[in-house]
Amino acid sequence: MSQPAQQQEVPGTQSAMTPVPDCGEDSYRGTGKLKGRAAVITGGDSGIGRAVAIAFAREGADVLISYLSEDEDARDTARLVEEAGQRAVLVSGDLDTAEQCRKVIDTAVREFGKIDILVSNAAYQMTRTSLEEIPDDEWEYTFKVNISAMFYLAKAAVPHMAPGSSIIGSSSVNSDMPSPALAPYAATKAAIANFSASLAQLLGEKGIRVNSVAPGPIWTPLIPSTMPPEKVESFGKDTPLGRAGQPAELAPVYVLLASDDGSYISGARVAVTGGRPIL
């Protein structure tokens, strides 16, 4: 599947994309691997976050969906979670402050009474062709949303997590193969992989596993809202598989890392890159 040149305003809307990303709405089949668990997913309204929310719900988990302002996309994801027979809780707001991150966790604890899975997935990027073009506040904002939020979320969530719980950070192939046009984003994605590996060692004695997933080029609203149209048109074609991935192709990895099937996987970074290697 390829995509035509297109452009949206940040943060982008999934329903306005051509083609609309496949988040597993019609394909994912659960087998109860997360039955009775409670999950928090940031950036859960669309793209990878939506695919993970659908998969988690169909595996039996209740899901809190944290999102910026994409109300229509978030409501669609909540509907899909509820159609799977699970509870969906929506929390809007920018994760650029510790207060908002703590609000997300506090809401999950109030609604679910616990947190079994934390997926730190929300991210910001913007294409810039030179160092001088990157505004100071954009650099700082990218770090706040992409990596500082993971710190605040994990710090708030861990006291409510029992042995067997899981934290998953969304890293990127850019963590090892940084695109110069995405320098701030790439730096944060390397930090996520590194921080996840540190957390795995810090939290191992609590029985909490921590891993990261490193997607390659995945067709999500982040792409048409942060890249020029000509880059969107060629997005993913330079991978060995010759195409961008779909969010649905990421979801099984998150399920593995969240479930008992991954009970001895901690401190790992799992590549889902269409053949692009990571170090």
33-272 CATH fold = Rossmann fold (3.40.50)
Interval 199-208: pLDDT, tens: 999 999 999 9
pTM of the model: 0.95
Which pLDDT belongs to residue 59? 98
Cα 154 to Cα 2, 61, 113, 209, 220, distances in angstroms:
36, 19, 16, 12, 25
Which pLDDT belongs to residue 1? 62
Interval 140-175: pLDDT, tens: 999 999 999 999 999 999 999 999 999 999 999 999
Residue boundaries of the structural domains of the chain: 33-272
Catalytic residues: 185
pLDDT surpassing 70 at residue 75: yes
Confidence of residue 127 (pLDDT cuts 50, 70, 90): very high
Structural contact between residues 7 and 224, judged by C-beta atoms closer than 8 angstroms: yes
Sorted by sequence, the CB contacts under 8 Å of residue 230 that are 6+ apart come out as 5
